[in-house]
């Protein structure tokens, strides 16, 4: 196993555009989406997923779905007395989403309260997580997680952090931004969006946002702006580049766009491709994903 994604997987119910009162069941969660796309883009057995699910009907379906996508589930624990986390996603005419979560009783919420569970983080040389798990984890587990990450980074583990900020999951923006900053300082690859930086730091300029991120982290940084450009900072040289993306497509559903972008970028970089090519491949996959409902597109729709 090369990559291990950490997260709180969801059973997502997504409304249909033509029938808003009808919802389709799908597996979801940002790092799970990334893990699934990364598994499709890398050789078999490269990607695993660390979490804890329940033992209800939805949890069992979720576990089976993850495994069927070729993701290693050896680090997917089961709480016999818990139920799956749920979300409902409604999509407007422009493909933009609104979220409702049922995560308070998430089986993953207290998982790292027991520090022994952190041993699974040693299973892979590359770890992937997002701000969402920082919101979901209890403070004790959060502290254990950060402490373990610091040790693993010293030992050479690559730490991939997506700033994915969902206000509804947090007590307040101040706590969210404090923890996002802490995670950014530990990251070796940082995957922020301009929307997240705006929310945390009140910065609306991508140039100023990059300056802020560089002041926080020595990581490789890929800043997506939601427009036609991506800003990139090389961890090796410190140089900042701006890459223009192809013209935006008309989205049906933006769910999973950023997650698929991250997966394709990581896969390309893992194959030794340069940053510009990796970003182009990431944008290509994301542009396909937004033309389909839900975060995970059919395997047949993946780019050649």
Each domain of the chain, given as residue ranges in start order, spans 3-301
> Which CATH number, 3.40.50.720, 3.40.1190.20, 3.40.640.10, 3.60.15.10, labels domain 3-301?
3.40.1190.20
| 8 A C-beta contact, residue 295 and residue 248 | no
**Residue 162 has what pLDDT?**
99
User: Over the stretch 180-196, which tens digit does the pLDDT of each residue have?
Assistant: 999 999 999 999 999 99
The count of other CB atoms within 10 Å of the CB of residue 7 is: 23
| 8 A C-beta contact, residue 26 and residue 100 | no
Tell me how far apart the alpha carbons of residues 161 and 166 are, in angstroms, rounded to a whole number: 15
**Residue 103 has what pLDDT?**
87
Tell me how far apart the alpha carbons of residues 256 and 298 are, in angstroms, rounded to a whole number: 13
> Above 80 in pLDDT, residue 93?
no
The rounded mean pLDDT for the chain is 94
> Above 80 in pLDDT, residue 130?
yes
Banded model confidence at residue 227, pLDDT cuts 50, 70, 90: confident
Contacts of 245 (CB under 8 A, 6+ apart): 228, 229, 230, 279, 280, 283
> Above 70 in pLDDT, residue 254?
yes
- Mean pLDDT for the stretch of residues 88-111: 82
Banded model confidence at residue 95, pLDDT cuts 50, 70, 90: low
- Mean pLDDT for the stretch of residues 154-171: 96
**Residue 48 has what pLDDT?**
98
- Mean pLDDT for the stretch of residues 243-252: 86
> Above 80 in pLDDT, residue 127?
yes
**Residue 9 has what pLDDT?**
95
User: Over the stretch 12-53, which tens digit does the pLDDT of each residue have?
Assistant: 888 777 788 888 899 999 999 999 999 999 999 999 999 999
* pLDDT: which is higher, 88 or 247: 88
- Mean pLDDT for the stretch of residues 115-123: 95
């Amino acid at each position: 196993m090369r990559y291990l994604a950490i997260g709180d997987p969801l059973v997502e119910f997504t409304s249909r555009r033509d029938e808003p009162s009808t919802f389709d069941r799908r597996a979801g969660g940002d790092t799970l989406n990334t893990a699934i796309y990364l598994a499709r883009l890398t050789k078999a057995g490269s990607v695993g997923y660390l979490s804890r699910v329940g033992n209800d009907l939805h949890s069992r379906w979720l576990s089976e779905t993850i495994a069927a996508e070729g993701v290693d589930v050896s680090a997917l624990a089961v709480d016999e007395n818990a139920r799956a986390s749920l979300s409902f996603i409604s999509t407007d005419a422009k493909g933009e989403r609104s979220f409702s979560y049922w995560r308070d009783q998430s089986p993953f919420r207290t998982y790292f309260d027991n520090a022994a569970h952190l041993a699974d983080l040693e299973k892979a040389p590359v770890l992937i997580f997002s701000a969402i798990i920082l919101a979901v984890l209890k403070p004790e587990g959060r502290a254990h997680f950060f402490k373990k990450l610091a040790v693993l980074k010293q030992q050479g583990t690559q730490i991939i952090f997506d700033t994915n900020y969902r206000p509804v999951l947090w007590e307040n923006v101040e706590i969210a931004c404090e923890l996002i900053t802490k995670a950014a300082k530990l990251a070796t690859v940082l995957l922020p969006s301009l929307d997240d930086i705006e929310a945390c730091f009140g910065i609306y300029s991508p140039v100023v946002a990059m300056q802020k991120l560089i002041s926080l982290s020595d990581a490789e940084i890929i800043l997506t702006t939601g427009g036609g450009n991506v800003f990139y900072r090389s961890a090796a040289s410190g140089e900042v580049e701006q890459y223009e993306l192809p013209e935006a497509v008309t989205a049906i559903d933006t769910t999973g766009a950023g997650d698929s972008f991250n997966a394709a970028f990581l896969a390309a970089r893992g194959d030794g491709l340069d940053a510009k090519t990796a970003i182009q491949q990431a944008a290509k996959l994301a542009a396909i994903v937004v033309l389909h409902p839900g975060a995970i597109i059919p395997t047949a729709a993946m780019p050649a």
